[in-house]
Amino acid sequence: MKSRNRLMGAALAALILVSAPRIFAQDWPQWRGPERNGKVTGFTAPATWPKELTLKWKVTVGSGDSTPALVGDKLYVFSRQGDDEVTTCIAAATGKTLWENKYAAAAVTGPAARHPGPRGSPAVAEGKVVTLGADGVLSCLDAASGKELWRKDEFPGVVPKFFTGMSPIIVDGMAIAYLGGPGNGAIMAFDATSGNPKWKWGGEGPDYGSPALMTVAGVKQLVTLTEKSLVGIGLADGKLLWQVPFPAQGMAYNADTPIVDGDTVIYAGQNRGTKAVKIEKQDDGFAAKELWSNPQVAVQFNTPVLKDGLIFGLSDKGMFFCLDAKTGKTDWIDTIKRGGNFAAILDAGSVILAMPSTSELIAFKPSDQDYAELARIKVAETPTYAHPVIAGNRVFVKDQDSLAMWTIE
């Protein structure tokens, strides 16, 4: 009987493993990857880089700067098609559309109209897809079927000057997004299944960056830039835990995602340099202690990556740089301007991968000595503002209105 029970148990365990959702190390389920830190896993750089990548498929998906999410064998793309904002589920191997979900969306107007599609990247977790539209519409869909679970517009018509920029997050059964606009906005958490409100913090309005997660003294925190500050918000209840003033100056904005390294937060802004603070438990609360400040090197539309104690990014002057993460000291700044101050920056193991809006995939060595370029390969004919998604030897690129899969061979 015991032997039979053991066999039945083993069979049941095998059945559970077979029927469980497939999870891949190469998944890119949200903005800046699984840990929202720009780190690619499962990539092996070629000994000799090819002059070109191999195009496997390319499909038109609509306009937008949103980075696709990759989960298992499916891509989730958020874009604008005509008068609608559309979430499209695509087979990663073939580019075939599996399902679409769309809704009528307000037009992007004014100076932001040059980028008419959504900017925020989908978050995929717990069997759900959460998107934040350019005009602030927050949606939650079933990841398998595309069925709408809920959709909300908490601050109708109220958005930052250049419309929304942040990417939502799914964590601990909640969908969290920074909604509204200057002087009238809030970080809001909703039950991911029902859409019921869980908590909100409305101290300041949003700017264009996205939140990261950290844990200090056992307390989970959501760390993000607002229009005026860097803040830590309690994940369980939405309470403000600590705050550091960081107001934008002149025509600048707060547009990067904070880098979390243990109890340290590294952040930057145009014309204000790069800074680091340590979050410490104090009595019944928390405090942020400044560790260093480098006023010479700053970023605008770019979040650097932290690798082996070094910070790599693209400056607000359009040049690659390397900083010492412990001291903030500038190790090097490249002398070549990249045609703008936007670039995706990824830690891909033995190389740093970058893609400026010029649509060139650039590989360089992660060294503190100098900038050493290994490859520069054109991957699109129109400007790219979405991050490339790297999975094994596959490179998924969302350009102005298309999504393509390239391979490194």
What is the domain-level CATH number for residue 395? 2.130.10.10
Examine residue 220 and state whether it is found in any structural domain, yes or no.
yes
CB–CB of 143/124 below 8 Å? yes
Contacts of residue 171, defined as CB under 8 A and 6 or more positions apart, other chains included, come to 125, 213, 235
Structural domain of 37: 26-407
% of the chain residues with pLDDT over 70: 94
Whether residue 379 is predicted with pLDDT greater than 60 in this model: the reply is yes
Contacts of residue 173, defined as CB under 8 A and 6 or more positions apart, other chains included, come to 126, 191, 192, 193
Q: What is the pTM of this model?
A: 0.93
Examine residue 12 and state whether it is found in any structural domain, yes or no.
no
Whether residue 186 is predicted with pLDDT greater than 80 in this model: the reply is yes
% of the chain residues with pLDDT over 90: 88
pLDDT of 271 reads: 87
Mean per-residue pLDDT, 310-320:
95
Supply φ then ψ for residue 294, to 5 degrees: -115, 100
Between 14-28, 210-224, 268-282, the lowest mean confidence (pLDDT) is in: 14-28
Angle, alpha carbons 268-234-307 (nearest 5°)? 40
pLDDT of 38 reads: 98
Examine residue 20 and state whether it is found in any structural domain, yes or no.
no
- In angstroms, the CA 131 to CA 223 distance is 19
Examine residue 8 and state whether it is found in any structural domain, yes or no.
no
Whether residue 6 is predicted with pLDDT greater than 90 in this model: the reply is no
Lookup: tokens for 140: 């939650």
Examine residue 107 and state whether it is found in any structural domain, yes or no.
yes
Q: Which amino acid is at 63?
A: S
User: How confident is the model over 213-244, as pLDDT tens digits?
Assistant: 999 999 999 999 999 999 999 999 999 999 99
Task: Summarize the chain as % helix, strand, coil (round to 5).
Answer: 5, 45, 50
pLDDT of 251 reads: 78
Between 2-6, 178-182, 287-291, the lowest mean confidence (pLDDT) is in: 2-6
- The confidence band for 21, taking pLDDT boundaries of 50, 70 and 90, is very low
Mean per-residue pLDDT, 15-20:
35
pLDDT of 24 reads: 63
Chain-centre distance for alpha carbon 78: 13
pLDDT of 338 reads: 81
Examine residue 21 and state whether it is found in any structural domain, yes or no.
no
Examine residue 98 and state whether it is found in any structural domain, yes or no.
yes
Buried residues in 172-211 as b, exposed as e (16+ CB within 10 A): eebbbbbbbbbeebbbbbbebeeeeebbbbeebbbbbbbb
Examine residue 346 and state whether it is found in any structural domain, yes or no.
yes
Domain count, the chain: 1
